[in-house]
Structure 1
């Protein structure tokens, strides 16, 4: 999905991972596309057998989406012997008995791309869930935010309307309880 128009001149992307700190990136190229996602990194345990070795367990590092092969080749971990290469096998027919993925780390990311698909920004975190983001075009605030003037650059800030309303309600209730 594309955000902002040429006449906006900038796009401000604000995001956070889980309950983490909010971060901001200002793109001077518009329109932009924003991609978010996460990957599980870990290792595959693949039990294969072939006509020569009969049984063999291999371990492959990578992401959960990776196919448990390296560049189309299945290698024996200890000796490095090729037990299969694409459709040509050195050790006869290779079959997979089982394949299990064990995650060890997580990597969530946000990427900002220009309309041609060129990446102009990327951030990542060890979060297991993708970040939540909002985009503001030009000098406006994203949906759900109120614009307030401030003396510092850029001369305004964007406040979360729901959070501000909650704070005002809490202060009002506290004052009412003290004034009877």
Structure 2
């Protein structure tokens, strides 16, 4: 979605689950800002895992491991390489340089023994309006949200209040303040 007009000085406020709010100030306007949720684990990830077996011409035997994820890298020859994420690992920790991908067999009856849910992430894309290349791409834990201010120091729906700390002001959510004031008023009337 497009934000701001030519000559505006936009600020994009980005916040991810459990992280501090970040501010990005593109030196260009108008801008397009969008968010995208994704799974960094890839298409072969399984929360419960599986046994993967394949033929390795290096040692002339069939290998089998229990894993949660794998990625095959085509090297442009008969043989490919494979990265494997074992059950107890967060990253791809095993690499076999030469495998025959046509011998790959997945056995879902053999699992890791415990489940590890997929990790969901969010990307925030900031672009010059009408362009396809990102000026900024910000990644973080799901959910990710953003707000855009065009000329004000605070985004729409927020009030600017003086603050002793840097940058000398803070932005407060007007709806939250109004709700608290209604609550206080109702308490006083009781």
Which of 119, 144, 147 is the equivalent residue of 1:134?
Answer: 147
| C-alpha displacement of 1:169 | 0.8
Q: What's the secondary structure of 2:25's corresponding residue?
A: strand
Q: What's the secondary structure of 1:30's corresponding residue?
A: coil
**1:121 alignment partner in structure 2:** 136
Q: What's the secondary structure of 1:94's corresponding residue?
A: strand
Alignment of 1:81-120 (within 5 A): 81-84=97-100, 93-98=102-107, 107-115=121-129, 116-120=131-135
Aligned-partner Cα distance in 2 for 1:79–1:38: 25
Aligned-partner Cα distance in 2 for 1:170–1:176: 10
The change in CA–CA distance for 1:95 and 1:157 in structure 2 (over 3 A counts) is closer
Q: What's the secondary structure of 1:138's corresponding residue?
A: coil
Q: What's the secondary structure of 1:168's corresponding residue?
A: helix
The change in CA–CA distance for 1:60 and 1:171 in structure 2 (over 3 A counts) is closer
**1:18 alignment partner in structure 2:** 17
The alignment's TM-score, normalised by the length of structure 1, stands at 0.60
Aligned-partner Cα distance in 2 for 1:154–1:132: 22
RMSD: 4.3
1:59-85 per-position Cα deviation (integer Å, ceiling 9, x unaligned) = 687xxxxx7213452348778351137
Question: Structure 1 stretches of 5 or more lacking a match?
Answer: 62-66, 86-92
Is the Cα–Cα contact under 8 Å of residues 10 and 29 in structure 1 kept in the other structure?
yes
Is the Cα–Cα contact under 8 Å of residues 13 and 134 in structure 1 kept in the other structure?
yes
